[in-house]
Amino acid sequence: MSAGAARHGFGGVWGHLQTCARAHGAAHLVLVDPDRTEPARAADMAREARACGVAALLVGSSTPFAADPTPVITALREGFAGPIVLFPGDPRQVRGEFDGVLFLSLLSGRDRRYLIDAQVEAAPRVLASGLEPIPTAYLLIGEGNASTVARVTGTRPISPSRVDVIAAHAQAAACLGFALAYLEAGSAAPLPVPPSVVRAVAKEAPIPIAVGGGIREPAQATALVEAGARFIVTGTAHETGRAIRPFTEAIHAPALALR
Q: What percent of the chain has pLDDT over 70?
A: 92
Instruction: Grade residue 205 by pLDDT with cuts at 50, 70 and 90.
Output: very high
pLDDT tens-place string over residues 43-65? 999 999 999 999 999 999 888 89
Q: What percent of the chain has pLDDT over 90?
A: 83
- Cα–Cα distance list, 196 to 19, 135, 137, 139, 172 (Å): 26, 25, 20, 16, 20
pTM of the complete model? 0.93
HSE-up of residue 231 (Cα within 13 Å, Cβ side) = 27
Alpha carbons 88 and 47: distance in angstroms, whole number: 23
Q: For each of the domains in the chain, give its residue range(s) and CATH number, in order of start.
A: 3-257 (3.20.20.390)
Helix (H) or strand (E) holding 143: none
Minimal CA–CA distance to 241: which of 15, 13, 60, 36? Answer: 36
Minimal CA–CA distance to 32: which of 23, 24, 41? Answer: 41
pLDDT tens-place string over residues 69-126? 999 999 999 999 999 999 999 999 999 999 999 999 999 999 999 999 999 999 999 9
Residue 257 contacts residue 226 (beta carbons within 8 Å): no
pLDDT tens-place string over residues 119-171? 999 999 999 999 999 999 999 999 876 566 766 777 889 999 999 999 999 99
More confident residue, 11 or 168: 168
DSSP codes of every residue in 14-33: HHHHHHHHHHHSSEEEEEE-
pLDDT of the residue at 203:
98
pLDDT of the residue at 10:
39
